């Protein structure tokens, strides 16, 4: 090797070494980025839509499902339950749900797509406790004018069977209605929203 070759070789080695470090550093930077783009299976499952078989919910019955870490109630309301909504109206804070949160298709007197099927989050809009269902015959506990609905034991908020809050309660607005859609007459999916999909 003559003396003139030496600097070239050294430079070439330096370039190779630098590229290798760069590649490793690049890989190191790429892995967390790619990982952060793909939620874990658990996270995906927690946020995934939930299918509900409505044949398992009898008239007058409520079932609780977990969606995005929150309880979501599905109630099959009877004609008496639907009539109770009218009876409660004069005592509600936001009877037309103007200040409350629900998808467009639930902006109606029943707060639902189909009057008999009510879907709402079982999370009090005051400080987040989960209210309990109190049927119309719980008048002894809830008062003589009780028509059926929900009671939050934390600070006493009361809601009707459409999740609308009674006046005087600390909860500021009605219970939230999550997005949902019917994929068949007997099946609904919580977390899917036809409107948002542009259908
Ligand atoms: S959290 Fe429901 S009344 Fe306070």
CA of 80 to the centre of ligand 1 (A): 27
Fold of 45-190: Rieske Iron-sulfur Protein (2.102.10)
Mean pLDDT, rounded, for 51-56: 97
Closest residue CA from atom 3 of ligand 1: 155
Distance, CA of 119 to CA of 190 (rounded, Å)? 8
- 8-40: pLDDT as tens digits: 544 444 444 444 444 434 433 444 444 444 445
Whole-number mean pLDDT of the chain?
84
| DSSP category for residue 166 | B
Residue 133, classified by CB atoms within 10 Å of its CB into exposed (0-12), middle (13-18) or buried (19+), is: middle
pLDDT tens-place string over residues 58-96: 999 999 999 999 999 999 999 999 999 999 999 999 999
Could you tell me the residue ranges of all domains in the chain? 5-38, 45-190
* Cβ within 8 Å of residue 155, ≥6 positions away: 126, 127, 129, 170
Q: Which is nearest to 52 in space by CA: 76, 24, 17?
A: 76
Whole-model pTM: value is 0.77
Does residue 163 carry a pLDDT above 90?
yes
User: With a 6 A CB cut-off, is 127 part of the ligand 1 pocket?
Assistant: yes
């Amino acid at each position: 090797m003559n003396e003139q070759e030496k600097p070239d070789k050294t430079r070439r080695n330096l370039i190779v070494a630098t590229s290798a470090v760069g590649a490793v550093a690049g890989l190191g930077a790429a892995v967390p980025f790619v990982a952060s783009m793909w939620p874990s299976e658990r996270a995906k499952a927690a946020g995934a839509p939930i299918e509900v078989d409505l044949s398992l919910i009898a008239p007058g019955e409520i079932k609780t499902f977990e969606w995005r870490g929150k309880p979501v109630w599905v109630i099959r309301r009877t004609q008496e339950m639907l009539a109770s909504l009218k009876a409660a109206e004069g005592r509600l804070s936001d009877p037309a749900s103007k200040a409350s949160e629900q998808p467009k298709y639930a902006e109606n007197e029943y707060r639902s797509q189909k009057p008999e099927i009510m879907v709402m989050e079982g999370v009090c809009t005051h400080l987040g406790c989960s209210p309990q269902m109190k049927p119309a015959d719980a008048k002894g506990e809830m008062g003589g004018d009780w028509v059926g609905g929900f009671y939050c034991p934390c600070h006493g908020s009361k809601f009707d069977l459409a999740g609308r809050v009674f006046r005087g309660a600390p909860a500021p607005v009605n219970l939230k209605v999550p997005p949902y859609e019917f994929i068949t007459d007997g099946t609904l999916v919580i977390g899917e929203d036809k409107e948002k999909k542009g259908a």
